[in-house]
A and B are shown apart, each in its own frame.
Chain A
């Protein structure tokens, strides 16, 4: 209790007009534990890690990361995979989210279970499961051979395809949920109105549903893309070291070559890229929202 209230008088109401620094301080107080936690376990390690990259007083490690063709190819690779994963997630996730949002409650629950159950399972477990399914002697290849569809096993593990399949599976819920939310927020009366005014189902989708759920699509795409950029476990395990993404490269630099300054520089670039993509998306969304 402050001394002001000690005399038994009620504290003066904070004036809404003159809410200065003191007002902000009071507002921030409940967030203090979270802020301390963030600082100690997030901000500090990041800054410390970034420190590694410039410890010798030069930007040589950054020059290496951004200058050598080998590493630029990893950046490009990462972007390409992230983009592909985002597009596939969108193509699969939009219809799925849309369906779950518009079907009967029973089916919606079932759909939710299928979407959310993987989200509650460890990424590691799911990735190992994919290894069992996709391998040379994996479940899929054996089925296909037994069914006579193919003669030789299709390579689906330790390559680009495997990484894509795994990442799409892990990241799909992040696309489905925002789309689901956007479709649910749409006033059903709008759909009825469009129908009554003569719109076909096709027109209703293109003219009403799609434009009005665009924010959901955008949110989902941003999350999937940003998460893809820094994805590690799935590309590391399903790529078998042959698909080099940024996070995999960073891990190699730390564990195998023990080149911590270079790993730190790569991390810094990844962080900058991620923040860049994110703020770009933010700016775009804000523009969308403007009347």
Chain B
């Protein structure tokens, strides 16, 4: 399948529904062949953003450009964008093959050509031989694949995926995630993936855009988002976190609001207000040590998770390598290196 992937640039998108501001000046650049995930809680505006890109909503302000061409007001039928909907939206009265053929028929592709490309697309999603079945005769995962085949069969310029794995069980979901990733890489298809599941976002993406209340909080690579979140919201939404606030009292040292002092490696200037993030799995030994009472201890197989109540009302979530669970109420010490503390 020849790729004619495009880059996408949205600028200053604003969309209001009555009093509600769904998009509050969203700008985003996606390179050709990139997979970008838009991650955010429900109501953050991520679905509205997708609808504006697909053409189902017209923004009140701002523009959508594909390969430099403004498509903001182009109707969806003329955008050449493949989309996979939350509940697949397969046509129930058409067979799998006819579903996949639909976008080709709409483009007046010849019969033989359609047949060839449908077979190719079904092979790509590993559904050879399912062409004559109806959607309702397929499992959820198979329907998902049909929807995917239908969205890519016409060589779209962009692929949009709107929480496509929400209805699948965990195992199938992980398989499909990897499959989408494989397919997307193979076709070099510029893809926007929408999810509220941060784990899914980390597995799939080249980059992640975290959305909240109609704005983008941060756009960065997966590691960047996890290791160096830009603010409280991103730090809290992606992964487990211990977030505190304080003031830099001298170079390499923060005094938290609780009074506790922390050594940091970050060169923040003296006197500035900062947030500090300590990921639970980063605790072990280190220059900053905490002594706390075990309030909660959970065995998770590959690790154990503890909730510690430390001095000055500080509470810490700590992950440690799997082992015996400490008794509730006992006191233990953990430490963290200054380099492992992210300051923002």
Contacts and interface: CB of A to CB of B under 8 A. Distances in A.
Do they bind each other? yes
Interface of A: 187, 189-190, 192-200, 203, 207-208, 211-212, 291
A197 B134 contact: no
B89 A192 contact: yes
Contacts of B82: 196-197
Interface string B91-106: 1110000000011001
Interface string B70-90: 000001111111110111010
Interface of B: 54-56, 75-83, 85-87, 89, 91-93, 102-103, 106-107, 134, 136-137, 150, 154
Contact of A193 (B78, B83, B93, B136): B83
A198 B89 contact: no
A101 to B, nearest CB: 18
A200 B93 contact: no
Contacts, number: 61
Contacts of B75: 195
A235 B150 CA distance: 53
A203 B86 CA distance: 23
A214 to B, nearest CB: 9
A198 B154 contact: yes
A203 B105 CA distance: 10
Contacts of A203: 106
Contact of A189 (B80, B87, B134): B87
Contacts of B154: 197-198
B77 A189 contact: no
A198 B150 CA distance: 12
Nearest to A211: B93
B134 A196 contact: no
Contacts of B54: 196
A201 to B, nearest CB: 9
Given A195-B75, A197-B154, A198-B77, A212 B136 contact: no
Nearest to A203: B106
A166 to B, nearest CB: 36
Most buried by A among B85, B87, B91: B91
B102 A197 contact: yes
A291 B137 contact: yes
B77 A208 contact: no
Given A187-B89, A189-B85, A212-B93, A198 B106 contact: yes
Contacts of B80: 198
B107 A193 contact: no
Nearest to A291: B134
16 contacts: A189-B87, A189-B89, A192-B85, A193-B83, A193-B89, A194-B91, A195-B56, A196-B55, A196-B83, A197-B102, A197-B103, A197-B154, A198-B107, A207-B102, A291-B134, A291-B136
